[in-house]
Structure 1
């Protein structure tokens, strides 16, 4: 990921530099490059860089130079940052990577505007690429944006649905939401690398499918970290997802288990009791007792295996395929 970041960083800086100075300042803060005064922030986190690494490896996997994928890597990184800025507002998340979220640091309106600017620049970064693959790349990104919006819409609608009974969110419905909200962009990153590398449509589709499965595994690990992660590494308060009442896979699959712990969990969540402090610890313990943590870990591993099987369907360069395999394993074992 460090190699990909070094390759992509100059073009990403250039893209952000095209924005209005004010939105550019907020984008630099959101990307972890600067503080609120606009000065370089050595303590800021630039994030994992997963999507730009996938774009670069997508090109290399089909025999192209990783540099061919740089516009696609810039586009997916800008889209990812745009989605984080807007999601933090919708989810009322005050922290992002151990710093105040952009909307807390600058205000809601400015954060929305910055997200809009990043989205526009993401499309422009691809649309300006010369050559015969430009239209296919832009179509891929636009389809992904539609999927992202659909996934976020479902995620927001889940908040108003009951924990049990008619209308309750089923684990399969959550999986569909996660594929749109998380899997689509990871699939797009790999696919854009392949498209810009000149790969045939079949190979592009295979890499997109592999990325989507990787995204589902990634989201499953995120859901585990949202309940049991260390705040010092995740950058969010302990039991963050439980405190927000989010319907995540570990809770949903635990409640579907039918055990005594599952019944106790359902009773607590449907009581209307505020989840904080000791209550959150109790909920986390019930989710684990009911098998939610183990089942979510298995869910992540199933989709990781599916991603690897997909990669074996395409004729990929050996070195890039090996790097993808290492990256996949790293994402499953991460603690942040």
Structure 2
């Protein structure tokens, strides 16, 4: 008697569908976390997420891509768990990410985020900082509550030990993020920033939380340490590649896509990776960029356009693209080392392609 063939596996979903699924899955838990926040910051957080306007009326603003929670949920599935297993990690990393955005906007004095005025520009810097603090507290609560089944049905992967390790891991990621942000701020006052230290800064500022997203999702699904470590490496390398592409978009991105004015990073004289690579190139274009970029006084739109051309001519744009491609290849090798299930493997690769090919 012949064996009955197994039903075909569901095909991998496109990246956009995965992100929509991630947003829908974490949405109720995010809203519950914000609803439980103190009165003084609840409206600020709801506005930041796009759920309300500045007057507290329901709104449908963009709440972000939900990349980090998608990585957590897929990493849980990749090691044989379910998306529900990874839900506490997914909620925690999205809350942490938005804590960092609220603070970043205050520090950078950015007035636009997700095509709307930033929270600090509407409610004030103090309110935005406090709302970010509250989101970070809720992030740690999401991880700790999971040990009691508070963020979804209990699973074999959830225990007091897993939750404690997860809290430590997220704490380490936040410290790395803060260290990266400190370096980024310090670079504004320096004229001698080199490429290796700029890469270290970006790895901490962006790579640390993406790495934690993958590692925490796998850990909450009960994965063994080697698989957790491999997925952590995948997320770290994708995070650094993501930052390289983000830096390219900060110079050449379409404002309709980025939500920020063209050449915004140049006018603020940000030491982004393409700029630092161009300044360190030893080329005549790099020297001209240094004279333009490192002098005092505001930069006009014409000067910003000239700076963008010099970054390109000095090789900064091409270098950033090459480095992002190399990092993506390293990320895929790390993903394969985790021996993931086929569908989440394909979907993790699709997310990596999405965030590293945005400048083409």
Moved more, 265-274 or 283-292: 265-274
2:196 and 2:331 mapped to 1: Cα distance? 18
Structure 1 counterpart of 2:228, from 204, 207, 224: 204
Deviation of residue 271 (structure 1)? 3.2
Distance 1:113 1:188 in 2: 24
1:17 aligns with 2:70: no
For 2:295 and 2:198, how far apart are their aligned partners in 1? Answer: 22
Q: Distance in 2 between matches of 1:216 and 1:270?
A: 25
Structure 2: gaps of 5 or more residues: 1-18, 148-157
Among 68, 71, 76, the alignment partner of 1:54 is: 71
Measured after TM superposition, the shift of residue 147 of structure 1 is: 0.7
The yes-or-no answer on 1:270 pairing with 2:299 is no
Deviation at residue 266 of structure 1 after TM alignment: 1.6
Distance in 2 between residues matched to 1:79 and 1:149, nearest whole Å: 12
1:226-305 counterparts in 2 under 5 A? 226-305=250-329
Given the alignment, which residue of 135, 143, 149 partners 2:172? 143
For residues 191-235 of structure 1, the C-alpha deviation after alignment (integer angstroms, 9 at most, x for no partner) is 110010000111111111110100000000100000001111101
Residue 80 of structure 2 contacts residue 341 of structure 2 at CA under 8 Å; is this kept in 1?
A: yes
1:133-158: CA deviations, max 9, x gaps? 21121111111111111111111111
Structure 2: distance between partners of 1:300 and 1:34:
36
Which of 1 and 2 has greater Rg?
2
Determine if contact 2:274/2:317 at 8 Å carries over to the other structure. yes
User: What is aligned with 1:73?
Assistant: 90
* Contact 1:234 1:335 survives alignment (8 Å): no
How much does 1:335 deviate? 5.2
Question: What is the number of equivalent residue pairs in this alignment?
Answer: 330
| 1:213 counterpart residue number | 237
CA contact (8 A) 2:228 2:338 kept: no
* Offset at residue 36 of structure 1 (A): 0.8
Name the CA distance, whole Å, in 2 between partners of 1:238 and 1:307: 30
Distance (Å, rounded) in 1 between the aligned partners of 2:237 and 2:37: 34
RMSD: 1.3
In the other structure, the counterpart of 1:97 is 114
Deviations 1:244-287 (A, max 9, x none): 11000111111222222112112222333531210000000111
Structure 1 unaligned blocks of 5 or more: 163-167
CA–CA separation in structure 2 for the residues paired with 1:17 and 1:72: 19
Does structure 1 retain, via aligned residues, the 8 Å contact 2:86–2:221? yes
Partner Cα separation in structure 2 for residue 94 and residue 178 of structure 1:
23
* Paired position in structure 1 for 2:4: none
**Which residue of structure 1 aligns with residue 14 of structure 2?**
none
